[in-house]
Structure 1
Amino acid sequence: MKKISLENHQEIIHYLSKGRSIRQTAKKTSVGHSTVGRIYKKTPNIPKNSKNGRPVKANHSTSKVLVRQFKKYELRNASQGSKYLKAYYNIDVVPQTVRNMLYKGGLKAFKKPKKPIISEKNRKKRLKWAQEHKNWTPKDWKRVVWSDETRINRFGSDSDLYGWRNPQNKLTKQDVRETSKADGSRLMVWSCITWDGVGYICDIGDHNMVKEDYLDILKSDLLNSLNYYNLDNNRTIFMQDNNPKHKAKLVMDWLNQQQFEVMDWPPQSPDLNPIENMWAKLKKMLKKSYSQPAKNKDELFKRVGECWYKIDAIECQKYIESMPRRVKQVLDARGLWTRY
């Protein structure tokens, strides 16, 4: 580190003694901020001024009360917090000040995740299911074949997309998200995952699948997936959710005739199904792998297959191994939502 001259050192002390800030002194003397700061700390006869800026309107005690109101969900946003301080403490602050107070109090803003509605009846069913499976080890979960359907959009996610543009300029191709009402703008797919890898994926189309369609899928794609990995049907457990077509008598009669066991699944529990994570991975792969939307539904399904079959067994195992943690979170939440 280059030493400064005695003249520079005295000049820095002079400005600091006159009440100049570290930044102002550094600018006046052409010396780095860190060097001026060290001299400021080490020189005892320089008055240590308190921090500059507007005085704090709300004291520590009031801030604690405000934070407590948010923790109790009595207040939900910064605007409500601002009105609360004005009404009860006659403290007039803007919402940003409330946000700063909440941040200092240990709270952080977050985007509320979308979760299914869990009624009291379903909460008890989820809790009961978790209690029944709390002692299952990863070895037990290895036996489960996880299935589900998902929708794939030709033009990307249904969620909002954001960007930056000059509002005075005309919209360009980069400024919009193109959509189409033509047939083939989306499709539904079904598949399953096992400990050994992903199962066969099939195109349901863009219509609502009925029980007969679902039974055909089980007879073909499910059984083909089990055979592909040479799974022992006597030890295999098949998981499906409680969609009405899954629980139709026609379907359940066929499932009950199979050698594999069918898992009793709790309602409103996509957070407990590892294949949901695989669907998310598939959609990220599609977005990353192709810069332009598919020309039609056939091309879209071809892309889906190319990405799906690239997912290896290690990826499947990573999410299946998380099942003990998911079960524990259901128990801790007394049947309510997990973080998954």
Structure 2
Amino acid sequence: MTRPISQEVQGFVKTLFNQGCSLRAIQKIFPDLSVSVLSRYRKKFLVHSKHAKPGRRSKITTQNMNYIERNLRNGNLDGPRGVQCYLAHMGVQMTLRNIQYILKRKGFKAKRKVKTNFVFAENRKKRLVWAKRHRHLTADDWRKWGFSDETRVNMWGSDGESFYWTDRPTELMPHQTEAQVQGNGGGVVF
């Protein structure tokens, strides 16, 4: 049961609620009314209204967030660093950690880029010529050859893992792969 207050004060409080004033602002006008009493009257007066979402407003607007999501999916923005550059261009300063937090809250996850073999167009031609030149060899002839791939081993630090951000499983797109050269080319031993 709410504490009864005069009809005149109820009318003032109702108009202030309709104008969107907060409980604290109304309490400053009527210091003899507690926040709990004002809260009960707000429920009584504004039964079907939606209350403002509590907390601080996001720095990123809905339109900007939609743009960021779309461009992360198609590869135009390169992860949180690209989002940070875009937001700085829009006049919003945010740390990388906050951007990662927002992306994770939206369902995005960082995944490692899939490494694929990178073959130059000129090397493709050389490989084809070499294969055509040696296609007549038998299995016994191939056993006489030894192939060396000269695998490069990194002793210290990482190989520079690259990541992409996505929120749904899709077929691999070009921005989700990383072309690499195997070792330093390799060679053949006779």
TM-score, with structure 2 as normaliser? 0.35
Larger Rg: 2
TM-score, with structure 1 as normaliser? 0.23
